Amino acid sequence: VQHYSWKAKKVNYTLEAKDRIGKFTKLRSNEFHPLKPITVTESSLIKISHRDGHASNSENKSLKSHSSSEKVDFIDPLSMMTAEDPLTKASHSNRVVAAVVNEKADAVVDNSFAELSWTNWKMDVVSKSTVDSQLAATMTSILRTTQGISVSDKMRDRLGQLDEFGEASLQEMLNLSQQEFIDRIHFLSNTLTDAWNTNQKVKSLKIAIQCAKLLGDTSVMQFYPSKFILVTDLLDTFGSLVFERIFSICNGMKANDIKPENVSESAKEICLNWILKVASIRELLPRIYVEASIIRCNEFLKKDQCKSSLIRLNSMTRGVGNPLVALYTRAYLCSVGMQHLSSCGGHFKTCFYDFLSTFKQMYTTPVQNLLAHQKLTMESYLGFYAPALTWILSCVGVQAHDATLNEVFERCNSCGNNQVLFDCCISAFSSKYIASRALVLCTAITKADDKLYPKFRVLQSLGKKLIETAPPNADKLMILNETWKMLVKIRDPGNYIACAVIWVEYAAKYFTQKETNTVLGDIIKHMSPDRVYENFYTELQSVVVRVITHMTSFKSIFAMSRFLPFFDMFQKDGQRVEVCKLVAEYFINDNNEFVTSDATTISGLMYICKTIHNSINALSNEGQVSSAAALICGVILKINFGKDFEQQLSFYVECRASFSGLDNVLATLVHSVNRLSAEVTKIVKGKHTRKTSAFVRACSAYSFITIPSLSDSTTKFGLYLESGQVALISQCVTQADAYRSGLTTILDLATTSKSDTENSFLAHVSNLLSSLLVVPDNTEQGVLFPVEELNVISESDAEIRSDIQCAIYIKVLAMLTAYSQEQYLYHVHKVDSNEDLYSNDPKFMAELSQISTTLLNEVLAYLVAGNKDQKLQSFNAFNLFQTILAHGDITESNMNRLAVAVWEIAIQHGHITPKSMLQMMTMLKNKGGHYKTLAHTLKQQIAA
């Protein structure tokens, strides 16, 4: 390898800056921009050919003569992609609900009914009415998979269907699981639709009739509410098919505006035919259900016929003997009224009053015997009534005046064993109405002597309504006191905590920490005996969430003496940690409290964070570690003592001792301390006193003591670099000497660097070298000691890729050129760099030249060595060539020859693109002088 010496170019940074500013031209507002939306003016005589949007003179004339031409705006593709969000509609899937509830929403005639959703009610019932035991249900032979019938003779087809679905074909399908029953009904629904589409409409009717008969069976009462939803969903499908069939032959009519006088005779005939078919059903229950499913078809015959038919069906329901079956039948009639009638409040109230007239029937001997046979308690039996009764009362409450609701309450209050009635009324009526009468309701609930229906359920419903709408201020405390007197009498821990979860939220939302603390203490008292809390971790966790959600501030939360002791009940592995994570997340996301300095709050948060930290062990996966670290870091960043910087540093010292096992937390602490030091320097405007000087040195010491404990080399290197820079701007020159530690970390990065992280690594190196420029030499360690430390790369036994080593040396050459200038490019306030220490001393310049020459020849030795990656060699050679142009003095013949030699190495294998070479040639020619001459020489090389 031919020996070359490095000759640095002398640069006047001030003149260069002025030259760059002079050549800089701003983009004019009327110039073309590639990301600017283009406005095209359409005209038969205009053709825009210029990219900048300027038309020729003839085109300008044409523009004036066609001033009325239409303008069309074309938006760039990136804007068009965001014009419509493809994810505007969310999908909700549930395995059971999907088989039960139709995907299309219920249609309502009156917008005032929109808030009462039959679909939502069905989904809620299905989610609660499940049973694990086998189901006994009377099914028809249509549960078998049937093939389509070939229609050759209409009469023969009709007789065949009647024979297939005759009464004699009923079979008892025993030992069906819940999911099997759901699958069978879902299959029947599809069969009904397929039969209708293949013109087997009588078959569809028979399926609807036989399925409606299933609702008369209460052999498994736990599943009856879900069975009701399944069957009525099928009946709704049948009713829709019949209505659409008749509506399809009513030309020019809207579905929501049907006028009987405009309906054709053929449509009326078909409609009457279906009504008569249904009227011929002999059994009462299927007759009511099937007729209710097609009740809207009455609109084609006579105005207000739907309403009269609904009243008639409700009267027929009085003939249903089983009170549970009768109640759900009335619930379906209310559903039909809500969907298809705009005004039927009287009908809903009649349904409810009819139920009240048979209310005592639930307590008769036959019902008691049935419950004993199915091994059910009266409490659970009354629970099966609650969904349907709540729906009926919800229909009563829509558009009802307060006088009507008061009347309903009075009727309920006059009944014995009326807790279930109170519960359903409270759940069904609006929260505003309930809140205004909450104290009266509390008194009524207290006086009620019903022991068959649990009082805690009524209190639960009342609490939920009062959380939605606040009661009068004068009644709030009295309501809480009266309610809690009833709560403390509940002996069953499950019932107690289910109700306490609601009322602790009531206390947290409407009262101060004193009342909430009292409630928490009572929960601890009830749940601690015999460690019953171990069975109710979910409910206890809900208590914590509701408290921290509604309390005004975390200061008041941790000021409660019972809050942290409440955590002692979470004894299960991981349960306490999950609750602590919830509290930490709420604190981090609390927009009302951006930072805190309250000692009590900080003490509580540190307890929370230590619990999270101590849950991490050797078996924890990476996700668990990252999640814990993120929460702790979020809490730390929200604790701020304002101008009390010493207290802030003491807090960070405590955190380092408490969370030493999490690297991300330690890195956050180093960042925070560096920011603290920089903030102090900013406040004193660089004029440190003895006290502030000692403080920033303590901050630097904190950082450089903490960083070595980290395991990730990239993080360590970045923190060393940041801490050194902060130490310099804080005028802690001695502490900034810790850059030496950053230099030694390069070795770890270089050995672990991969091709996909190489650019990131070299960016770190560039940042370090640019910082070293302003670090003054330590006179005890010699001239340019930090640069000498880079010899660790070449002298190390570690396997460092030679191309990375070469890239580092090229960057060092650029830095050494900056060292050789009479005036450095940048400075640090009140820190004397080598520019001030040496003042271009000849010995210092000679040392720079010697080091530069040594590094240059190391690079050249790599570039000409064999058995190397030719592509990497070419790229490094091209990089060196650019460095020579930017930092070398090519007016010196030796440097000129060096540039030519390096260029030849760069292009000899063809890895440098012609575009890059052309750009380089253009740049050299534009610079003129020796650069233009060099460009001519390089061009000849390319041609050769």
pLDDT computed for residue 794 by the predictor: 59
- Measured on CA atoms in the order 227, 228, 233, 236, is the torsion positive or negative? positive
pLDDT computed for residue 666 by the predictor: 96
- Tokens encoding 4: 């070359």
Average pLDDT over residues 900-911: 87
What does R_g of the chain's alpha carbons equal in angstroms? 42
Judge whether 423 and 453 are in contact, CB under 8 Å. Answer: yes
| 834-893: pLDDT as tens digits | 777 777 788 888 888 888 898 898 889 888 886 678 888 899 999 999 999 989 888 888
Judge whether 212 and 167 are in contact, CB under 8 Å. Answer: no
| 186-200: pLDDT as tens digits | 899 999 999 999 999
Average pLDDT over residues 211-238: 90
Judge whether 424 and 138 are in contact, CB under 8 Å. Answer: no
pLDDT computed for residue 789 by the predictor: 62
Q: Is the pLDDT of residue 693 over 70?
A: yes
| 562-585: pLDDT as tens digits | 999 999 899 887 889 999 999 999
Give residue 137's region: left, alpha or beta (phi > 0; psi -120 to 50).
beta
Prediction pTM value: 0.73
Secondary structure in 3-state letters for 93-147: CCHHHHHHCCCCCCCCCCHHHCCCCHHHHHHHHHHHCCCCCCEEEEECHHHCCCC
* More reliable by pLDDT, 320 or 342: 320
pLDDT computed for residue 162 by the predictor: 39
pLDDT computed for residue 786 by the predictor: 63
Q: Is the pLDDT of residue 44 over 60?
A: no
pLDDT computed for residue 618 by the predictor: 86
- Measured on CA atoms in the order 340, 343, 344, 345, is the torsion positive or negative? positive
CA distance 209 to 216: 12
Q: Is the pLDDT of residue 748 over 60?
A: yes
Q: Is the pLDDT of residue 42 over 60?
A: no
The DSSP line for 72-99 is EEE--HHHHHTSS-TT-S-----HHHHH
What is the chain's mean pLDDT, rounded? Answer: 79
Q: Is the pLDDT of residue 37 over 60?
A: no
Residue whose tokens read 């070479």: 917
CA dist 514 → 540, 558, 562, 574 (Å): 19, 12, 10, 30
| 96-137: pLDDT as tens digits | 333 333 333 333 333 344 446 778 888 888 777 665 544 544
Percent of the chain past pLDDT 70, that is, above it, reads: 78
| 241-266: pLDDT as tens digits | 998 888 888 876 776 677 877 888 88
| 456-494: pLDDT as tens digits | 999 999 999 999 999 999 999 999 999 999 998 888 999
3-state secondary structure of 174: strand
Of the listed ranges 18-22, 676-680, 881-885, the least confidently predicted one is 18-22
CA distance 242 to 171: 28
Q: Is the pLDDT of residue 11 over 90?
A: no
CA distance 934 to 930: 6
CA distance 936 to 33: 35
CA distance 258 to 275: 18
Judge whether 549 and 511 are in contact, CB under 8 Å. Answer: no
pLDDT computed for residue 546 by the predictor: 94
Percent of the chain past pLDDT 90, that is, above it, reads: 33
* More reliable by pLDDT, 758 or 152: 758
- Give residue limits of the domains in the chain: 110-151+162-369, 490-593+596-614
| 509-520: pLDDT as tens digits | 999 999 999 999
| 702-743: pLDDT as tens digits | 998 999 899 888 888 889 889 888 988 888 887 766 666 666
CA dist 56 → 59, 63, 74, 501 (Å): 5, 10, 22, 78
Q: Is the pLDDT of residue 808 over 80?
A: yes
Rounded to the nearest 5 degrees, what angle is found at the Cα of 128, between the Cα atoms of 123 and 129?
100
- Residue 852's Cβ-count burial label (10 Å; 0-12, 13-18, 19+) is buried
| 610-643: pLDDT as tens digits | 999 999 988 889 999 999 999 999 999 999 999 9
| 71-104: pLDDT as tens digits | 333 333 333 333 433 333 333 333 333 333 333 3
CA distance 338 to 351: 13
pLDDT computed for residue 79 by the predictor: 38
